[in-house]
A = this chain, B = another copy of it.
């Protein structure tokens, strides 16, 4: 992640390393405030503004994906596959990326029915992750 950043012409700074580490450490998604907290473990003087600015760069380079949470604020997750979506645990908030969404059928049906030309899509799944399933069985 750092390598790609540098390759794109950005500096390798302590603050950016801290933000990247924070993103990688969260099992999945994290809000900017979460990232600030985890990032400060690596770089205590880290500021929230820098978290936002670093995320902006990472988004542009497609190294990170922006997820929408229902409570109004956004969260961010590392992007590992090329065309990826996320499945999010409703209990522990862990997010896992998956690839290969076969939406061709759905897209074709919608195009036929609405007359729209579909260019892109956006999908998030919600459920329970393996670990939380085990826990809740007891």
Instruction: State whether B109 touches A117 (Cβ < 8 A).
Output: no
**A110 to B99 Cα, complex, angstroms:** 8
- Total residues of chain A contacting the partner, CB 8 A: 39
Residue A89 is within 8 A (CB to CB) of chain B in the complex: yes
Copies in the complex: 2
Given A122-B123, A122-B124, A122-B126, check contact A98 B117 (CB 8 Å). Answer: no
**A23 to B105 Cα, complex, angstroms:** 30
Q: Considering only CB atoms, which chain B residue lies closest to A124 in the complex?
A: B122
Q: List 10 A-B contacts (CB under 8 A).
A: A87-B116, A87-B118, A98-B110, A100-B109, A101-B106, A102-B106, A117-B127, A117-B133, A119-B127, A120-B127
